[in-house]
Structure 1
């Protein structure tokens, strides 16, 4: 018998190339994307072909942009937009249209930072600009968010009072709902609750049609700037416009969305879907803001209440008196919903930032035992805020004013660091800003600084005149033009940089922070940062002193 010769088989083993290390600080931030409306497996890297596949991917990604925008239409926003409508009709709607590109550019930059770096906003500031600014950003965020959270519970109490529900019991139930939704140890369950609350914000749409403001007048005021009230009221109108900017573009939004994108495990591969999510959120927030302004304007037009805004409860009572009881109830329910989702977002942004900076486990994917410090910060903030609003005699109106003022003063600082981080090639590599984004953002920062200075001056000098405000605007404008001219001259005369290579950016992630070289600060930048630091410290101290003086006077 002949035996057939055996064929030797050989298997070529390719050496495994280890994946490059990234800067992700919590290993819970890697894995499957488990969104409220869908799931994407970690190793699902196939191309999305066809409308159905793309739509399912979008549903799974939707969340960060939607929640951060709807959370921005919180209790403070209801008060600000209600005041605009009741006191000035729809004449200030144009400010919302101007804020659309500001909202998109700001939040697009932070979602890019989150998806590419895997590191929260506060930690990046600490690592790239030193301990002072890192500590300043966290302390500033913690204090401002704590006060903002109190205003959310003020909104809850006003809604409960109008609905005839017990204040103490209602506040405690709201606090339990806010805490319990995050304490499930499931990111997906938390996001489902948050998205459900976002859907609740759409109650403002049927309320708009119940009141039926004139669409033609609203369309006109959206596109034609108007400072109704005359030059004698310019100071009052300007401060309200600053309030609209401050409530629509808030510092906590930057910290929240960056960390939430990281916690949802979104990577650069899904950037276009996350941008679509952001646009959905912007549309919802602008529609809600316009609806509040529009139906409030129509409700109080020609009545004794026009020009005499008090608070959100006053708006609900006006709707009941001039439209129907159902309209007032619907507004109160929408206010309650907005206050709760605002409390969600503000508390979470603080817990994320503190966990990121201090190296604590900080993810909604972890149970309470796996991230005790993270959940303690979240629950502690909610408990303190709920307690403050239940203390008899608490200066709730003063707290609301103080929050708006401090947010307006500190907003330029957040925007400056955002711009600097998005131009840091070690951080974003091929994802750094282009020239057009830089030019637009620099202009926005200039406007925010101007508004901040005006707001600070108005707090220190309540009787500030319109001419003084115009002088401040002129001085800031001249300074901005000089700064822009200096920057343009330096670019023209300096060494030209090589064009940014953006090939393969979908797979680029920031290396670990300890491997990055600290950015060098030019003399001009040091002077600018020093001036910003000095202004912020002086403005904060003066504003706090003024608020304390008012409190003692009361």
Structure 2
């Protein structure tokens, strides 16, 4: 029974922790402009993150070492450095966006300017990264993130024409007022939001933190193949409510408050309060994950002691990176840059960095010296290779689409 409870808890936290500021903003923007016509971007992205998260988790469980640690050893310091620079640039940008997202969410409740909240939010994130136990941080924030289920409830309450939405999603059509280049720009943005690089590094390093072994592979796979797709359904619910409330009214999404507006229309003030709780939990949890991912990857590349399973005094360099990255994120946000704009940049550049992130994972997952009999099977390799082609196409298209469409305008 205890094992089943552990599986259930893992699935629930995977659902609650799947959505971050990129998913919130991008899905709402897409729903408000394109309805459900970009559903396939989320579906393809969720399947891709499942494929590579399973590989990453399996590497950690079998070898007892984090994926990035093995990437440097297996592919050499030069390839490892290229991977580090590409993924860390995006992860730092995402970290800035997540802290800004927490400040925006708290602003909805307090009406205090987000610039005044940013230092306090950054300090709180750093304190959690420094002092909180890994399992407590992951489970509490993941479970609180389940408050975002209110979007699915609101979607149902709005009573949409389900058959029309299904045809729209399956047909991948677009409104007449939109261009195909803009449609493809948001396709890449949604895809990048679903497959952000930090997720696989955090997942793998978290497995080491929790001391996974080969016996934990079924639990890990349940978290990935059940929790992540259900988290993807939450993302689609955000787009769905926007398609029912914002699209008919011609409202575009420029603020976090507009993301929650359809919930208020469907469920009133109580529903909006639950949505704001979900905003805070999702963005704060993602801020912790991205902050840790920065520390994990740098420490694993250099060879420092790392992780929350060791005392801070034994991992001073790792915790120094966490503090420095938090201070950098605060400094960037205090320049008055719009966190929503940072979020839009982060999801697009996530797409650019995807091949650098995922190709080394595919290589390591096929190495018998590390995984023995647990190396990739034929299906994993077919899916992994197919996704490498998709990732490369998305990476090549991301910046040109961003320039041509002026970031989707």
* Structure that is richer in helix per residue: 2
Contact 2:72 2:80 (8 Å CA) reproduced = yes
The aligned runs of 1:153-168 (5 Å cut-off) are 153-166=99-112, 167-168=114-115
1:227 aligns with 2:173: yes
Contact 2:185 2:405 in 1 (8 A): no
Displacement of 1:175: 2.7
1:96 paired residue among 35, 42, 47 = 42
Moved more, 430-439 or 234-243: 430-439
* CA deviation profile, 1:158-198 (whole Å, cap 9, x unmatched): 32333343235543443343223233363343334333333
The structure, 1 or 2, with the larger RCO (C-alpha pairs under 8 Å, 6+ apart) is 2
| Pairwise CA distance, 1:114 | 0.9
Matches of 2:284 and 2:229 in 1, distance apart?
A: 20
| 2:249 counterpart SS class | coil
Name the CA shift for 1:111/1:212 in 2 (closer, same or farther; >3 Å). Answer: same
Alignment match, 1:257: 203
Name the larger-Rg structure. Answer: 1
Aligned CA distance change for structure 1 residues 383 and 201 (closer, same or farther; 3 Å):
farther
Counterpart of 2:390? 447
User: Which of the residues 122, 145, 155 maps onto 1:208?
Assistant: 155
User: Which residue number in structure 1 is paired with residue 215 of structure 2?
Assistant: 269
Going from structure 1 to structure 2, the CA distance change for 1:99 and 1:317 (only over 3 Å counts) comes to closer
Q: Is the 8 A contact 1:183 1:367 kept in 2?
A: no
Tell me what 2:65 maps to. 119
SS in 2 for 1:183: helix
Report the equivalent of 1:309.
253
Secondary structure of residue in 2 paired with 1:302: helix
Over 3 Å counting, the alpha-carbon distance change for 1:401 and 1:85 in structure 2 is closer
- For the 8 Å contact 1:66–1:282, the answer to whether it is kept is no
Q: Work out whether residues 256 and 345 of structure 1, in 8 Å CA contact, stay in contact via their aligned partners in 2.
A: yes
Q: In the TM superposition, what are the counterparts of 1:6-405 in structure 2 within 5 Å?
A: 52=1, 54-58=3-7, 62-63=9-10, 70-166=16-112, 167-168=114-115, 170-184=117-131, 186-222=133-169, 224-229=170-175, 233-305=179-251, 308-317=252-261, 320=264, 324-392=268-336, 394=337, 396=339, 398-405=341-348
Match of 1:496 in 2: none
Could you tell me how far 1:265 is from its partner in structure 2? 0.3
* Residues 307-352 of structure 1 deviation map (CA, whole Å, 9 limit, x = unaligned): x332333333565578744444443332222211110111111111
Distance 1:70 1:382, change over 3 A: farther
Equivalent pair of 1:204/1:334 in contact (CA under 8 Å): no
Q: 3-state SS of the aligned residue for 2:310?
A: coil
Q: Is the 8 A contact 1:121 1:353 kept in 2?
A: no
Deviation at 1:409, TM superposition (A): 0.9
- Give unpaired runs (5+ residues) of structure 2: none
TM-fit CA distance, 1:420: 1.5
Tell me the number of residue pairs that the alignment of Structure 1 and Structure 2 aligns: 406
- Tell me the TM-score normalised to structure 1 length: 0.67
* Cα distance per residue 1:202-241 (max 9 Å; x no partner): 343444345443444444445x132213596111101111
Distance in structure 2 (CA, Å) of the matches to 1:388 and 1:198: 26
Q: Deviations over 1:452-472 (max 9, x none)?
A: 2111222354489xxxxxxxx
| Structure 1: runs of 5+ lacking an equivalent | 1-51, 465-554
